[in-house]
Amino acid sequence: MCDQIAALVLPGADDLPFKMSLTFILLALLSTVSGLPTSYRFSRADSAAVNPIPSTAPANETAGCSSSTAADFLAQFSSTNHANITLALSPELGGNRSFLVHLPAAYDLAVPHALVVSFHGFKSNAKKQERITGLSGSGIRINGKGIVAVYPQGQFGPGKNGDESIRAWQGAPYSPPGVDDVAFTQALVSHLSENLCLDSNRFYASGKSNGGGFTNLLACTPETAGLFAAFAPVSPALYAGANPADCAPGRAVPLINFHGLSDRIIPFGGQESDRQGRIEYATPNITQFREAWAERNGCGSPSKVGAAVKLAAVKLNKKPAVSHPHPDTTLKAFLCNAQVNGFTVDGLGHSWPGTEGLDGGVATFNATTANIIPFFDTYALGQ
């Protein structure tokens, strides 16, 4: 066998020692590769999970692509392609609601662009969400074009002490009572669809902490689960209102999630209450949260369509593909009817993963560019 391999490698060579040296090098390399433990091999499934294939679904143009008032709407954008827009809505939707919009440098009012909506965390705001996510960066592209990035402002709620005035989103104990942020999100998307040229097959939702929990609520709500093609809750605050046990989105939902093992605000292992013993601040184990989504997406056997999936141990009929796409990071990709990607980051606290520490903690990768945008690019409604 050695002579046969050597002959293939070095046909006609007369220097036997040199031939055999090459042979042993090749055999050593082959044995090293074939001897890797199965759990560390980079399989085709892992490759699909880490490097998704962009969707080829056709664009579905919104009304803004042929709007006669598009130029007037664009006039409110600054030289940096930003605009702060305010909608006058009903009290149930929070009254006057504002959101920050960023257009890509090459925005064409006749070409449909993807829309990414990103929700800030508790005590945060739209400008900080733009900064920590990098979604307004020049290199961000979906379906080969720059994206329209939107950062809504939460309304002022009572805070954790009950007598504060702090921006928050629906689903948290400290969110403003009686405010329907789900309906507000629908109104926001509708307004932009009428005035900007968007691809309604490529709307995406993301958020951090309280905004991540609200992103999960959007994924659980049928009306918005069918509005956005994919979801990215990052370090989500999954209180009972943001993580309903009877989550029934009405379709398989693509979801990508990041959570640090050193998160002390929303512990990876979950908590039964906060430090003051308040059970309304209970949050689930993140592994069980991901597995519950995998079960809903077809990697389990719920008793009926739309059945309640409680956050406890579930029996999955398909194990996740496990890989390590970044240092100190484990990815479990549940390849179900729609994919669920769970990134667990060792040493990271309550932060949006990034290398510059813009959200406090430092990771070995930038979640937005390395994983979230490629994941979004994989999914479009109607494909």
Residue 359 pLDDT: 97
* Strand bridging mode 96-102 / 113-119: unpaired
Contact in structure between 212 and 237 (CB atoms under 8 Å): yes
- How far apart (Å, rounded) are the C-alpha atoms in residues 131 and 161? 28
Residue 52 pLDDT: 73
Q: What's the CATH fold of domain 41-378?
A: Rossmann fold (3.40.50)
Contact in structure between 94 and 176 (CB atoms under 8 Å): yes
Q: Which residues of the chain have pLDDT under 70?
A: 1-51, 302-313
- How far apart (Å, rounded) are the C-alpha atoms in residues 168 and 174? 7
Tokens of 224: 């918005």
Instruction: Tell me the pTM.
Output: 0.86
Tallying the residues shown for the chain, one arrives at 383
Going from N- to C-terminal start, the domains of the chain cover 41-378
Residue 382 pLDDT: 86
Q: Look up tokens 């009903």; give the residue.
A: 90
- How far apart (Å, rounded) are the C-alpha atoms in residues 4 and 23? 9
Count the neighbouring beta carbons within 10 Å of the beta carbon of residue 291.
25
Question: What are residue 193's phi and psi, to 5 degrees?
Answer: -65, -30
Helices (H), 155-209: 181-195
> Which of 158, 152, 77, 96 lies closest to 121 in space, CA to CA?
152
Q: Which residues make beta-bridge pairs with 383?
A: none
Residue 17 pLDDT: 42
